Amino acid sequence: MTYRVCFVCTGNICRSPMAESVFRARVEEAGLDGLVEIDSAGTGGWHEGEAADPRTVSVLDEHGYGTDHTARRFQPSWFGRLDLVIALDAGHLKALHRLAPTEEDARKVRLLRAYDPAIGGDDLDVPDPYYGGRDGFEECLEMVEAASTGLLAAVREQLEGRAA
């Protein structure tokens, strides 16, 4: 049975496609690509139909990640088919909780950086790099990579629980 993860940011052109690409690579490296489906979306539809931001694509390419992405808006009906909805910041977390049709669906929503074992404190947001320079996209990638290892371990644990 496929485990489905969707990363969500604001417009689905910077942070969430970056997280989708990095996590897809981690899943493939772990040999789980046939068991885990990875997707991304935005809380808003401003960029629907557009490719990922060129700075996102450039940073991903430089670090060996590919991306073939078309932005879209997260739909509440998706909760029924998803196992985990990963928010990139607290604003997305709140928006997704509001969209969740049921309490069970709301429990599927988590912040990405909650999976980074090195994080201490309450600041779990991945800052939006859109209005800044390239260094913000590099910082975003570092945060996404750091959390992806812990996320992969959590997903692996869920898969093993299903198989038991």
122 is catalytic: no
Q: Which of 14, 15, 26, 125 does the annotation list as catalytic?
A: 15
CA dist 89 and 125 (Å) reads: 4
Q: Single out the catalytic residue among 9, 83, 89, 110.
A: 9
15 tagged catalytic: yes
Among 10, 4, 14, which residue's Cα sits nearest to residue 39? 4
Q: What tokens were used for 160?
A: 């093993």
Catalytic residue among 4, 33, 72, 128: 128
Task: Name the nearest CA neighbour of 114 among 83, 80, 164, 148.
Answer: 148
Q: CA 94 → CA 9, 40, 110, distances in Å?
A: 12, 17, 10
6 belongs to the catalytic site: no
CB 56, CB 16: distance < 8 Å: no
Active-site annotation, residues: 9, 15, 128
